Structure 1
Amino acid sequence: MSNHQILNTTDHADLRVYTGAGAQFGDTAMAALVVPEEFRQVQAHYPIVFRRDGESSKFTALALFGFENGENLFLEGETWDARYRPLSIAVQPFLVGQAPDGEGEGQVHIDMGHPRISASGEGTRVFDESGRPTPLLEDITRKLGALHVGYQASGDFYDSLARYELLEPFTFEVPLSTGSKHSLVGFHMIDEDRLRALDSEALGALHKDGHLMPIFMALASLSNLTELVVRKDAKESRG
């Protein structure tokens, strides 16, 4: 159960967290939220797909790790087999929270109910003996800032995708050598044909607003679907 607290040296002076990978830390997710500002890094390893919220009809972008719920094909025991982990995964168990009065800038919070919280004296310290942030916390703070800014700015990106109708639903068949069949459904991707059909004015507007590059990165990322199938096939073959 979640237990969000404002991170501070009084309550968390001796806090340690596990930074490695593993199913015990909740790393078996099929996908993770990503923001447009990190699409360049994400596309080097994972397919980027989009999902529409059933209630709000708003879109979010996801880095895809597998084809089934609870399947992360990049997780091999205690190893995450990719050089980049999406920010939303890399910052856990930390998050950005509001001050108690709801005013001012966001604060670093920590979920004390997260499995990455160490209760055994193992793991990496968050504060050193003098109460100063360790390199781990400094890195986490930087990533939290990037994730927070990216999330706040993503609304304009999705508004532009909607304005030019650049998202389309798709179904992806997963062919496996074992003969088993899987299909990826319920997601959207960039409509490349519609993107190609945009006139210079529309493309210029997307470029001016900084949206054209993440669109191209999302398109390029789809080549990773083939690699994901290879990983899935190897897993199925091993049984």
Structure 2
Amino acid sequence: MPSHAVLDNKTHRDLRIRTDAGADLGDDIMATLTVPSEFRRVQAHFPILFRRETGRDAFTAMAMFGFQNGENLFLDGDRWDARYRPLSVAIQPFLIGRPPSGEGPGQVHIDMDHPRIAAASEGVRLFDADGNATPYLDEIAERLGDLDEGYRESGAFYDALLAYDLLEPFSLEVTLDDGSLHSLVGFHIIDEAKLRALDGEALGSLHAAGHLMPMFMALASLSQLSVLVARKNRRLGGG
């Protein structure tokens, strides 16, 4: 059960955070949230698939790490085997919080029950001896801001996808080298044929709103599905 607290330089003066990778640190996940403003960086490493939120009509985008719950094919022991970590992973155990009214500037919150909370002699400090933010905390705050802004802006992106009916159901079944069958189901992708069929006015409107580039990046990311399959085959083969 998460235990969120507003981060401050008195209560958390001596707090340290583990920044390495590992299943015991919460990295054993099949997918993580990503936002359209991040698609350009994500697509070079991970497939981007869309999923409808449970009980809602809204969609979210997911950077995919594996084929089943608890499987991260980019996690190699205590090493993250990719040149990029999506923001929603990189900011753990921090999050943006707001006053109960929902208005006002965001605050940096921390999950005190997260496994990345380090022992006194481990990890990276958040504040120096004078109570000033360390470079690590400054970087976390910047990433939190990027993720929060990207999430808040994403509503218009999904509205545009739905307005032009550009999402189509997607499933993938792969027979691996050992003969086992693995699948991804319950996801959506951008319908490339419908996107190509849009007239100039519609494309111009999407471009002016900043939505066209993330759509192209999401489509480009699908080439990473074959990379995911290759990683799975290597994992099964002991490589």
- Cα 1:2–1:54, aligned 2, differ >3 Å: closer, same or farther? closer
Segment drifting more, 93-102 vs 176-185? 93-102
Q: Distance in 2 between matches of 1:160 and 1:103?
A: 26
Note if contact 2:16-2:117 (Cα within 8 Å) is conserved in structure 1.
yes
| Residue of structure 1 equivalent to 2:49 | 49
Q: Distance in 2 between matches of 1:90 and 1:119?
A: 20
What SS does the corresponding residue of 2:5 show, helix, strand or coil?
strand
| Residue of structure 1 equivalent to 2:33 | 33
| Residue of structure 1 equivalent to 2:111 | 111
Note the C-alpha offset of 1:120: 3.9
| Residue of structure 1 equivalent to 2:165 | 165
Task: State whether structure 2 residue 117 is matched by structure 1 residue 136.
Answer: no
Note the C-alpha offset of 1:175: 2.4
- Cα 1:153–1:103, aligned 2, differ >3 Å: closer, same or farther? closer
Q: Distance in 2 between matches of 1:132 and 1:54?
A: 41
| Residue of structure 2 equivalent to 1:19 | 19
Note the C-alpha offset of 1:217: 0.2
Segment drifting more, 75-84 vs 94-103? 94-103
Q: Distance in 2 between matches of 1:169 and 1:238?
A: 33
Matches within 5 A, 1:136-215: 136-215=136-215
| Residue of structure 1 equivalent to 2:235 | 235
Note if contact 1:65-1:228 (Cα within 8 Å) is conserved in structure 2.
yes
Q: Distance in 2 between matches of 1:156 and 1:62?
A: 17
Note if contact 1:53-1:59 (Cα within 8 Å) is conserved in structure 2.
yes
User: Identity across aligned pairs (percent)?
Assistant: 62
What SS does the corresponding residue of 1:205 show, helix, strand or coil?
helix
What SS does the corresponding residue of 1:142 show, helix, strand or coil?
helix
Offset from partner CA, 1:68-127 (integer Å, 9 cap, x none) = 111000000011111110000000001000136654201000000100001342100000
Note the C-alpha offset of 1:170: 1.1
Task: State whether structure 2 residue 68 is matched by structure 1 residue 68.
Answer: yes
Offset from partner CA, 1:44-69 (integer Å, 9 cap, x none) = 00000000013111100000000111
Residue type of the alignment partner of 1:169 = P
Q: Distance in 2 between matches of 1:180 and 1:145?
A: 42
Q: Distance in 2 between matches of 1:219 and 1:84?
A: 19
Structure 2 portions without partners, runs of 5+: none
Note if contact 1:97-1:107 (Cα within 8 Å) is conserved in structure 2.
yes
Note if contact 2:34-2:63 (Cα within 8 Å) is conserved in structure 1.
yes
Q: TM-score, normalised by structure 1?
A: 0.98
Note if contact 2:15-2:120 (Cα within 8 Å) is conserved in structure 1.
no
| Residue of structure 1 equivalent to 2:123 | 123
- What is the RMSD of the two structures over their aligned residues, measured on CA atoms? 1.1
Note if contact 1:175-1:229 (Cα within 8 Å) is conserved in structure 2.
no
Residue type of the alignment partner of 2:48 = I
Q: Distance in 2 between matches of 1:224 and 1:238?
A: 21
What SS does the corresponding residue of 2:237 show, helix, strand or coil?
helix
- Cα 1:199–1:100, aligned 2, differ >3 Å: closer, same or farther? closer
Q: Distance in 1 between matches of 2:72 and 2:88?
A: 15
